[in-house]
Chain A
C-alpha cells in the first residue's frame, strides 16, 4: 500500500476539511469557550458529525457503519486538529468504538446506535495520576453478586462530564504492574455511587475527575473477558494514540500555516520579516519535521489497519514524533508572531494550548519514547 491517501481517502479529507472549516472552525471554538457551557462542545455539531458518517468510520458495515479504518479516522482527526473543532469524536467514535469492537456483540448492539446517531458520548476512565500510566492501574473491581463493584478514582477523563457512558479500566485480580488481571467495563454515568467533578483545562476542553464509590455493574458490562482486559485496553489505546497523533498533527499543521502566513505579511525595518533568513531556516526546518511526522502517523495508521504485529511500536513512534513536532510548531508560531502571539485575539496561542493538552492524552512523547526503548528490548 503506497504511503499516501488513496482517492476515496482524499475525498473524505476534502469533505472533512470543508465541514470543519465551515461548521467547526476556530470562531465556533471561541463561541463555545466564551459561553462557558458545561460540556465544552456543541451537541448540534456532534449530531452533524454523525450525519456526515464520521461517527461510523470504525463501525462495521453490518452494524450500520462505514467499515473503514484508522487512516480514515485520522483524516477526520487531522481536520479536527487543524480547526480546533471541539467534539467528543476521539474518545467516542475512535477509542470508544475500538474498545467496543474488541468486546462482544451484545455491547455493540447496546451502544453503537447512539454513537451512530450522534446522541451518545463516551469517555475513557484510564488515568489515576497526573501522568498516563496504564500499567499502574490500581482501581479495584471486586465480584459482587452477578456483577462487580467498582471503587477508586480516575482523572483526566476527557468529556467525562458530558458522557453517558465511561469505558473504565480496573483491576479484577493481581496488582499494579501485572500483565493479567485488568478488566474493562462499560459504565453508565448515572450509576449510583459515581460522582463526576468537571474541570476546564488550559485548552478549554472539559475533563472530569470521577470517583467510584461502590458502583455496581452487571457482568454484561464487561468488555471482552474478565482479567483479560489488557488486550482490549491495548487495542483501545492503539486507536486513541494513533488518533490523537493525527489530531496533534493537524494542530501543528494549522499552527504552521498561520505562522507562515503571518511572517509573509508582517513588516519591520520596511521589510517583510519572512524574508529574513533567521526565520526562513527555522520555518523550513519546521516544515521538514512536519512532513516526517505526517509520514509517521500515516504509517502507524496503515499498520494498524493491516493488523501488523509491529503496529504498536509505530503508534508510539507516531505519538512521540507528532507530539514533539507540533510542540515545535506552536512554540515557533508564538515566537514568530512576536507580541501579538501572546494575545487572545490571535489564534496561534489557542493552538499552543490545544497541543499541550493533547500531549498528555494517552501518554506524552517521553512516555512513548520509553515504550519504544522497552519494545526494542533495552
Chain B
C-alpha cells in the first residue's frame, strides 16, 4: 500500500471512530454550520467535532502545524476531504478566518502575527468578519473612504462599512482603511482590530430573503493600537500597501464563492422525478423541465471538473493569476440558474414563506440568497472586465 493509500485508510478509520453521529447528517440550514467564536451557539455534536478536529489540526489541514494546522500535503488534504465527503461528514468549522484572513496572513503576515492570530482561528476561538465594501465603494472598492488617522501609538478609525457578513456575530474584523488620501491604491492599509472596541456599531440589513446575514458597520473614533504586544502589528503587510493584500484575498474570496456550482451532490432531475412523477418510460413527466434539468446536470458536472482543474492548477502555480475571476463568474451564474430551476420545479409549494411544510420558506429564501452571489465579492460584470483585460489582453476603451 502506498503512503497515500495507508493515509486514506487511517483517516477513514479515525473519522468513522470519532465523528459524532449528528455531524453525519446533511446540512439543512444556517444553524447547521459551525462558526465557532467567543459567543458561539453550538448545536449537539458541533463543539465536540470542532474540538476533535482542531486537536489534529484538521480544521485547517493544509496549514503548517506551528500555526494550528495539520501540516498535510496537497494530496493528503485532498484525501481527507474526499473521505469526509464519502462518509458524509460535515465540515467541523467554517469561518472567514480560515477562508480569507488565514491565507492573507500566511502570505503577507510576519511570524509574530501568524503565531498570534492563526492558532485561535484554527481552534474556532475567534470569529472574524471582513470590512471591505462601503456605501460609496462597491465595484470600485479602492475608492473606500473609512479613514485611519495616525495618532502615534494608535490609529483613529472613522467611517462606515456595508455588507459586512455576520459583523454582529464577529469578534474581530480585518478591515481596509484609508491611511493616505493622496493615492487611491497606495493609500489603503489592511488592519486587524477587535469588534468590541469602543465606537464600533453594527446594524443587520434585512434582505429580500428575509434574512440578515449582512450588516452595516459604523466606526466612530475607534482606537486601534499599532501593536498588540510582542511585535504583533495591527497592520498586515506594509502601511499603505493594503490593496496588495486585498487583491490577493479577493482571489481567495472569488474562488470560495464560486464553489463547485452544485452545492449538493445529486442530480436535480433524478430528485424531482422521484418527487413529481415519471412517465411509462421512467422519464420525468414534464419534458421541458426534464430537458432543462439535464442541461443543468451537464453544466454542474462540467463545472465540477473545472473546479477540480482550477484547484489542481492553482496549487501547482499553473493557472493564470486572474483565473479566480473566471471561476467566480461561472460558478455563481450556474448556481443562480440552478436555483431558478429548483423554484420552477417546486411550483406553488415553494412559494410558501413561513409554513412548516416549506421549512420556513427554505427553498425560496435560498433562491433569493443566490442572487447576491454574482454581486458580492465583485459583480459578474467586473469579473468579465478583469478576464477580458488581464487574460485576453483586450485594450482599454
Contact = CB atoms under 8 A, between A and B. Distances in A.
Interface of A: 2-4, 260, 263-264, 271-272, 274-277, 279-281, 283-285, 287-289, 291-296, 298-299, 313-314, 317-318, 320-321, 368-370, 372-374, 376-378
- Name the prevailing secondary structure of the B interface residues: helix
Interface stretch (B53-61, B188-196, B385-393): B385-393
Contact of A4 (B301, B318, B393): B318
10 contacts: A280-B388, A281-B381, A295-B305, A296-B302, A296-B306, A317-B297, A317-B301, A372-B294, A373-B283, A373-B293
Interface in B366-397: 381, 383-385, 387-389, 391-397
A3 B384 contact: no
Contacts of A378: 267, 269-270, 272-273, 278, 282-284, 290, 293
A2 B312 contact: yes
B13 interface: no
Interface centre among B291, B312, B394 (most CB of A within 10 A): B394
Contact of A292 (B267, B284, B330, B388): B330
Given A4-B312, A283-B392, A369-B295, 20 more contacts: A3-B309, A275-B394, A275-B396, A280-B384, A281-B388, A284-B384, A287-B326, A292-B302, A292-B305, A293-B302, A295-B302, A295-B310, A299-B308, A317-B298, A317-B302, A372-B297, A376-B270, A377-B282, A378-B272, A378-B278
Contacts of B128: none
A283 B395 CA distance: 13
Contacts of B291: 369, 373
A88 to B, nearest CB: 29
The SS class assigned to the A binding surface is helix
B321 to A, nearest CB: 14
B309 A4 contact: yes
Interface string B316-336: 101000010010011000000
Contacts of B383: 284
A299 B305 CA distance: 6
Interface in B104-124: none
B267 A376 contact: yes
Interface residues of B, number: 47
A281 B283 contact: no
Given A281-B381, A292-B306, A376-B270, A260 B301 contact: no
A288 B394 contact: no
Interface of B: 267, 269-270, 272-273, 278, 282-284, 290-291, 293-295, 297-299, 301-303, 305-306, 308-310, 312-313, 316, 318, 323, 326, 329-330, 381, 383-385, 387-389, 391-397
Contact of A373 (B294, B389, B394): B294
Contacts of A3: 305, 308-309, 312-313
A298 B305 contact: yes
Contacts of A272: 395
A376 B395 CA distance: 45
Contacts of A318: 302
Contacts of B395: 264, 272, 274-275
Nearest to B272: A378
Contact of B387 (A287, A320, A372): A287
